[in-house]
Amino acid sequence: MSDTMVRVSNLHKSFDLIKAVNGLSFEIKKGEIVGFLGPNGAGKSTTMRMMAGFLSPDAGEVEIAGTLVNEQTVIRAQKHIGYLPENNPLYGEMLVSEILRLSADLKQIPREKQRAAFDFAVKSTGIGEVFYRPIRELSKGYKQRVGLAVALLHQPDILILDEPTEGLDPNQRTEIRSLIKELAKEHTIIMSTHVMQEVTAVCSRILIINNGRLVADGTEAELSRAAKKERALHLEIEGAGIDLALRNLAGLEHIDIDKNESGRVSATLISNESVELRPEISKLAHANNWTIWKLVEREQKLEEVFHKLTQ
């Protein structure tokens, strides 16, 4: 049995003359936490709506847990999905208990099973203390928790979360991030966000889209290596003749070098991405009896990678 929970194949969607999604394809495996990144207007929300079955593609396919999302099968596919839209539509005048009851009815959860569904959703999102309070009285953080509870009521396999921490203060963001990580133990999660720290803190994999196309797919380290055109090595070394030897390394494009009070040499060496300097440095160190205290390759920050791939 395949562990692919989401399969998006050659997806297209236009609004009048605007091409929102343009040939998008990817797969998401069971248990992954996937960060969905892209500039405003890149097609993230449109793609998530099509994945959740709330918007029909012009062309291409979405498959959820082995079920194609189309007019005939969308209800069956949605049984596997918990969807939190970007604007988290809640009725402010309703109690939390009432919105959960309404949602359970709309999801066609039998009345005799609704108590268990409430217990699961309330416990998973930590909203027990506000269960009988009007939604309009809740903080933005608790409103997001209620939105997550609604998405979890039918115990779906997959959670699709569109900007789940948008508008939250730093403490609320931290709480929702922790909640998402906890939910990921039992669910496959796809979440869009503009906050890079969220992706690095929560996600095991990153998809970056731009102009409706997939431009990158991988872990943060994999994207960093794919996006950069140069290598940057940070070196701390001790011995004789280091300066001249390093400057004569084949493939070196730039070097910043400094000698500290302890006699150690600190250096940053820049080379083309295709050039690997570390083996040659190790050979020099062995031949010249140098002591290497530090030798690391600097990874680009996700913000740098995002800018390069979407500019």
Tracing tokens 């998809």 back to the chain, one arrives at: 207
Question: Are 215 and 142 members of one domain?
Answer: yes
Structural domain range at position 122: 4-225
Are 218 and 268 within one domain?
Answer: no
User: What is the total count of domains within the chain?
Assistant: 2
| Domain identity same for 154 and 276 | no
Question: What amino acid occupies position 48?
Answer: M
Please indicate, yes or no, whether residues 200 and 99 belong to a single structural domain of this protein. yes
Task: Classify burial at 257, counting beta carbons within 10 Å of its beta carbon; exposed 0-12, middle 13-18, buried 19 or more.
Answer: middle
- Contact (CB, 8 A) for 50 and 13: yes
Question: Could you tell me if 188 and 252 lie in one domain?
Answer: no
Q: Judge whether 164 and 176 are in contact, CB under 8 Å.
A: yes
Cα separation, 252 vs 254, in Å, equals: 6
Distance between CA atoms of 207 and 216, rounded to whole angstroms? 6
Q: Are residues 52 and 133 in the same domain?
A: yes
pLDDT digits (tens, 9 = 90+) for 238-257: 999 898 999 999 888 888 88
Domain boundary at 176, 198, 225, which? 225
CA 277 to the chain's CA centroid: 32
Domain boundary among 225, 242, 272: 225
Of these ranges, 192-196, 293-297, 299-303, the one predicted with the greatest mean pLDDT is 293-297
Is residue 13 domain-shared with residue 104, that is, in the same domain?
A: yes
Picking from 225, 253, 271, the residue at the C-terminal end of a domain is: 225
What are 170-220's pLDDT values in tens digits? 888 888 888 888 888 889 999 998 778 788 888 999 999 999 999 989 988
Average pLDDT over residues 32-58: 92
Mean pLDDT of the chain: 89
pTM of the full predicted structure?
A: 0.77
213 C-beta neighbours (distance < 10 Å), count: 16
Q: Looking at the structure, do residues 58 and 196 belong to the same domain, yes or no?
A: yes
Token representation of residue 22: 């343009």
Based on the domain organization, do 212 and 234 belong to the same domain?
no
Among 187, 212, 177, CA closest to 50: 212
Residue whose structure tokens are 């003359």: 17
Residue 182: CB atoms within 10 A of its CB come to: 13
